[in-house]
Amino acid sequence: MSLLLDSEIWLLVLVVSSLGMVAPATYYYVGRRGTDAVLARFPQISKEQWDRAHEFYQEYGSWSLFFSSIPMAGILLCTAAGALGVGIMTFAWWVLLGRIVRNWLILLLFDQTLQLFFGGADRFFS
């Protein structure tokens, strides 16, 4: 758990998480153009999937953007957020928070894997 106390690792996670918001922001802005633009840009999204995404937002609200790191579901969540007029700051907060948690989980799992198989990450990162 020494990773959680390392300021350089925190900086790395914040930078990677911030850079990881480029694609979700693009989907958000496509959604801002409206439903027709979304369905034209993403032909793999059916009208039924789009309607379910709208229903999902109406039921759970913008905090569901926390799960935008999930492949394919994230595309639907981010484009629906734009189409439904979720504010950019609310959108950025939830997506960034979700990305930070996801990146920390990946990093901690990677560290545990290195410790299990190689006796620690010190051999690679010193």
| pLDDT at site 55 | 83
Binned at pLDDT 50, 70 and 90, residue 72 comes out as confident
Helical axes 22-32 vs 73-83, angle rounded to 10°: 40
Please state which of the ranges 25-34, 37-46, 59-68, 104-113 shows the lowest mean pLDDT: 37-46
d(CA 59, CA 85): 15
pLDDT for the residue 100: 93
Kindly state the average pLDDT of the residues 45-73.
Answer: 83
pLDDT band at 17 (very low <50, low <70, confident <90, very high): very high
Place of tokens 């999204």: 45
- Residue 71 contacts residue 21 (beta carbons within 8 Å): no
* Percentage helix, strand, coil for the chain under 3-state DSSP, each rounded to 5: 80, 0, 20
In this structure, how many other beta carbons lie within 10 angstroms of the beta carbon of residue 99?
Answer: 22
